[in-house]
Structure 1
C-alpha cells in the first residue's frame, strides 16, 4: 500500500471510547496545541467512529511534529495510533480556497466519507467545557470552600485514577494565564493547577468545577489554601 503523503490533517486511532467526547476533545487539543495551531478536532461517538478522531492543523510542519511525538503516546490507558489522513479536512479546504460548499465531503477519501456521512451533525466546536450544573456543584463542593480566599492556585480532587498530567493540562490550559499542573505525590486523584493571576484561576474554576471526567465522577476544583 502506498504511503500517505504528509498533510495538515492527522487521523488518530485506538482512543478510549469510554471517555466522554468533550473530555476526549479537550485532551487531544491539549496534546496537539503544543506543536502548532489546531484548526479543528472531529471526534464522534457513533459506532463507526468510536475510538477515532481527526485533528486539523494550520500547517504541515505542525501536523508532522505532532505525528512524530504523539504516535504511541498513551492517553487514557491506550497508546495512540497516529497517521496522516488520506485527504485534507473540510476546514483546511476552506482555508486554502478549494472547499466546495455544495460538496461538503469532496475533500475526504471514500473511506473517510463513509465514516462521516450522516454523522457530521454530532460534531461540535472546540471550546470550554460546559459549566457545572447546580446538582453537580452541590454534589462536589465542600462546605469549607467559602472560607478559602481566592488564589492563583487551584486544588483538584476526585480525579479518575487513570487521568494523566497531559490530559489534565489539556483541560486547564484553555484558560488564560495557565502555567502548570503539579501532581500530588502518592495521590493519583489529586493535583494542583497554577495560574498567573487569581482572575485566571477563578475563570477556570467557575467552568470546570463539577466537570465530569467519567460518567459518575465530577471533578472538584477549589482554591488552594
Structure 2
C-alpha cells in the first residue's frame, strides 16, 4: 500500500474513546507539542470520527519527527497509530491562502446575510417611525384645536389646569431572563468574540445565544489571564446545559488559556 505524501498534518487513530473531548485535545497537545509548533487539533467524539484525530503542525519537519517519535507510543493504555494525513487540513490551507479557509468563507457569508437583514430592518424601522411621527402630528393638531376652548373655559371658571403630560411613554430597559439556564465562560483570549464562541457551542443541543459577561466571576473559576474576556452562553434547558458544561470545562481555546465554565 502506497504511503501518504509527507504533510504537516498527522492522522492519529486507535485513540481511547471514553475521554471527554476537551481533555483529549489538551492531552494530545501536551504529547505532540515537544516536537514543534502545533497550530490545530481536530478530534471528534461522535459518529465516524470516534477514536481519531488530526494534529496540524506549522512545519512538515515537526510532523515527521512526531510521527517517528510517537508511533506505537502508549496513550491512555492504547498504542498510537500515526500516518501523514491524505489531504491538507483547512488550517494549513488557510495559512497558505486565507481565501481558502472554510471558516472564513462561512463567516463572510453569515456576515453578508446579517448585513442584508440589518439593512432591511433599519429601512422598515425608518418607515415605521415616519408613519408614527406623522400620526402623532395629526393627533396633536386635533388635540390642540379641541383643547383651546376647554382650557379657556376652565380659566374663566378658575379651575386648575393639569400639568402638561409627556406625550412619549417611558421605555423600560430590557432585563435579562434570569430564569434561562446559562453558562458563564471565562478566561477567553482577547481576540475571542461571540462568533467564535457560537461556533464552539452551536454543536450542543439546546444552544440559544451568546452575550458578553461583565459581572464578577464565580469563585470556582480559575484566575483569568490579563486582558481575558468572559461570555454568557444560554441554553433551552438545564439538561442540555449540563452536557455542554461537562464537555467544555477546561477547554483550551489556545495554549495557556484554560476556559472556566460554570452554570450561572
TM-score (norm 2): 0.40
Higher relative contact order (CA 8 A, sep 6+): 1
Question: Which structure has the highest helix share of the two?
Answer: 2
Question: Which structure has the highest strand share of the two?
Answer: 1
Bigger radius of gyration among the two: 2
